[in-house]
Amino acid sequence: MMTQTQPQTPWHQCGALTEVLLVFFAGSLISQLLFSMAGITSTPLATIAQQADPDYLALSVDIGMILILQYAGWMLLALVLCWILTGRPLHSNAITCNGQPWLKLITLGVIMWALADMPNKILWLLDAELDIGQSVPWREALLNAERTMQWWIFMAVGSFVLVPVLEEVFWRGYVQGRLQRAFSPAVAIIASSLMFTLSHSQYIGLDLYNFGNIAGVLFSALIMGWLRYQTGSLIPAIIIHAILNTPTGEVAMYVVPILMIVVMLYFRNTINEQMRQFWQRCTEIKPGVMDVMVTLLLAATMLGLSLAPSSPCSWVCWLSRLI
């Protein structure tokens, strides 16, 4: 179900780049306005590290509101721009099966999750045994907290239910989809994956643990981006994202990787075929100066925002810090 991208002029490519940056920056300002209207002035994540027994139900409501308002700012602007520039609704980002059986797409997502999440699981095992680094205080407190029903509700809202849908619709749906209409699929996948990865500001640190997390997020983002392109649907990427974000306990930390290996071995033909096609598409493209410049600019923009918490767009960091 791959869609072929027609060659575009530099003007079309500059237009796509400008639109993505405009949606990101101006959309973040719209989100800031929505935050102010809702009376949101600070991140609830700090509460997790500061309080011995935080109210996870209240925090679930707060973080859910923040996520919805943030993505509302981005997607509303994307919808308006798409209508103005093309006269058509932003239909390509819908969560549809794209004419394929939904069970097939879900199964593909589960199979490819076993590959996409393996680097993360290996890293967490190494960290558990060797203590190769530390995450930000609130994340350490969250992962070490007692896993009550309230805690699981909070994680469902901020990690493995709401977040995968919102993030995939924006990053793989809008950003990758918009770039793909002006650039090669490889450039669109790589550029959007780098932006998505570098939005995870909690992993930007100078130790092995954080370097490994950045590499793991990028690896999984590339696979999710490929499946978005190859199937024309966001469903496999959402499935991968949801399972990847689901917390594992002390015992599950060792059991889940074994199950992942079993899945990879049993469905090795499916995985090999997906990776073969992905590599083939990458090697077919001869990147030009514009491709390289756009990819580096988008990656540098996101890295700069992640390193500048005082930025007007610093709310973007809230979206990914839960993962």
What's the rounded Cα separation, in Å, for the pair 162 and 151?
A: 15
How many Å is the maximal CA-CA distance in the chain? 57
What's the rounded Cα separation, in Å, for the pair 158 and 58?
A: 12
| pLDDT tens-place string over residues 38-89 | 988 877 887 888 887 899 999 999 999 999 999 999 999 998 888 887 666 6
What six digits make up the tokens of 42? 């600070």
Report the pLDDT value the prediction gives residue 74, as an integer from 0 to 100: 93
pTM attached to this predicted model: 0.91
| pLDDT tens-place string over residues 215-243 | 999 999 999 999 999 999 999 999 999 99
The answer to whether 219 and 166 have CB atoms below 8 angstroms apart is no
What's the rounded Cα separation, in Å, for the pair 64 and 139?
A: 17
Terminal Cα distance for the chain, rounded: 30
Chain centre to alpha carbon of residue 227:
13
